């Protein structure tokens, strides 16, 4: 292992520790979403450095999906790449080969574009008869026009005029509502296994199994959006695989794989894409970084080891904040933790920031933690210490206001 890198002579950037543009040190409790193996991974640093000496692609080129094929101006790779091989190897070693038939792998310069492509494939699969996608009320699938339309949150629609047609939204964990929404125009069901906009609550495993059965009965494709979840955070490569033993037809992953760079990866079965497609060489820096990240995960015996680490981390967080009356609940899905409170999430995030702790709101009254999978004991203690410091400051502020 090389020494942790430094920024402008400031504190080391390593694990979940980093500095901002002004040189201020942070403990980043969302570091796993940038890098599954933490900041300053030598393999990933080398991948970025080596990419600087080659053609970096054309992110402005059109990304149309035409006739169930990648458009002519985005020609597919002739054969599986090093990235595809690294993914296949990790899926096999982690026991996730049955979670999806990874016949196709497509890399995009943004996660939203990967989600758009996944939905486009579903629409084109049988466009003469079916095109609609059923998504979940309260979901968040991104910020492009199509992704906003797929999202089930009114505030993501408000002020943008008419949404893209072809989306229905049903209550989460309600199979009867889902079944009632299916008709001859339905092409797919789009899920996220954890709702990061609502306390990081996970969907029910029985519900997920029921959705798969309905998709099979009605010849629909099951699409999974894990773009903002850290790859491997539950001990499985995919979060949904830790909730239910089902297979999906397409999944978008991004969190933890791109080292903070923009990007998204669509993994799909031939049932969704119509034929095997491998398209990853158009974006060399993203391809090299994701390949390096997957290889680093394998060397660290991840994601398997993340399961036990996640349990230990959740217990430590619960014990640290158990004494605060404004804590209501903790939702745990591997290394993804949502903490529900009686307070405004924005206030907690603000106080945490003054202490050098980066967290994020997960709804109006919950906060989100997504640390890297190989969280060290030292980094865990630093995170817990700052979290406790934050909660104490909030409690004291509440007491002062009550006087």
3-state secondary structure of 51: helix
Sign of CA dihedral 264, 267, 272, 274: positive
Tens of pLDDT, residue by residue over 118-164, are 999 999 999 888 999 999 999 999 999 999 999 999 999 999 999 99
**Token representation of residue 101:** 């038939």
305 Cβ contact partners less than 8 Å away, ≥ 6 residues apart: 235, 373, 374
Give start and end residues of each alpha helix (H) in 7-109: 31-34, 42-51, 82-93
Task: Give the separation between CA 142 and CA 113, rounded to whole angstroms.
Answer: 9
Nearest to 152 by CA among 112, 191, 107: 191
Task: Decide if 150 contacts 133 (C-beta within 8 A).
Answer: yes
Residue 78, pLDDT above cutoff 70: no
**Token representation of residue 400:** 């002062």
The CATH code of the domain at 65-299 is 3.40.640.10
Task: Give the separation between CA 151 and CA 240, rounded to whole angstroms.
Answer: 18
Tens of pLDDT, residue by residue over 169-211, are 999 999 999 999 999 999 999 999 999 999 999 999 999 999 9
Tens of pLDDT, residue by residue over 275-323, are 999 998 889 999 999 999 999 999 999 999 999 999 999 999 999 999 9
**Token representation of residue 213:** 């059965």
**Token representation of residue 57:** 């692609």
pLDDT at residue number 129: 87
Give start and end residues of each alpha helix (H) in 13-161: 31-34, 42-51, 82-93, 111-125, 145-150, 154-157
Query: What residue ranges do the domains of the chain occupy?
Result: 5-34+305-402, 65-299
pLDDT at residue number 83: 96
CATH class label, 5-34+305-402: alpha beta
């Amino acid at each position: 292992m090389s020494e942790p890198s430094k920024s402008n002579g400031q504190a080391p950037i390593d694990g979940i520790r980093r500095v901002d543009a002004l040189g201020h040190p942070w403990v980043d409790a969302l570091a796993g979403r940038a890098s599954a193996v933490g900041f300053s991974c030598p393999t990933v640093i080398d991948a970025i450095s080596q990419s600087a000496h080659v053609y970096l692609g054309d992110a402005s080129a059109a990304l149309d999906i035409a006739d169930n094929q990648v458009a002519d101006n985005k020609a597919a790779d002739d054969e599986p790449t090093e990235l595809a091989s690294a993914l296949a190897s990790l899926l096999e070693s982690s026991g996730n080969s049955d979670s999806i038939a990874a016949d196709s792998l497509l890399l995009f310069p943004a996660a939203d574009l990967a989600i758009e492509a996944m939905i486009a494939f579903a629409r084109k699969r049988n466009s003469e008869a079916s095109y609609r996608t059923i998504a979940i009320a309260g979901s968040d699938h991104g910020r492009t026009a199509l992704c906003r339309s797929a999202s089930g949150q009114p505030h993501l629609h408000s002020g943008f005029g008419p949404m893209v047609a072809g989306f229905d939204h049903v209550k989460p964990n309600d199979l009867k509502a889902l079944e009632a929404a299916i008709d001859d125009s339905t092409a797919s069901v789009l899920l996220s296994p954890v709702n990061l906009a609502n306390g990081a609550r996970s969907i029910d495993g029985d519900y997920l199994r029921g959705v798969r059965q309905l998709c099979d009965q009605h010849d629909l494709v099951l699409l999974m959006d894990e773009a903002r979840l850290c790859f491997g955070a539950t001990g499985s490569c995919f979060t949904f695989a830790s909730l239910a033993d089902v297979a999906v037809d397409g999944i978008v992953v991004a969190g933890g794989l791109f080292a903070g760079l923009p990007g998204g990866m669509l993994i799909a079965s031939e049932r969704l894409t119509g034929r095997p497609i491998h398209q990853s060489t158009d974006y060399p820096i993203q391809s090299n970084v994701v390949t390096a990240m997957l290889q680093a995960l394998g060397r660290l015996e991840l994601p398997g080891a993340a399961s036990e680490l996640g349990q230990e981390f959740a217990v430590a967080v619960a014990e640290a904040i158990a004494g605060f009356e404004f804590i209501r609940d903790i939702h745990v899905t591997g290394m993804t933790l949502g903490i529900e409170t009686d307070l405004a999430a924005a206030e907690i995030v603000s106080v945490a920031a003054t202490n050098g702790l980066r967290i994020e709101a997960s709804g109006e009254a919950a906060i989100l933690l997504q640390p890297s999978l190989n969280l060290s004991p030292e980094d865990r203690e630093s995170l817990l210490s700052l979290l406790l410091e934050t909660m104490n400051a909030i409690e004291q502020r509440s007491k002062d206001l009550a006087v």
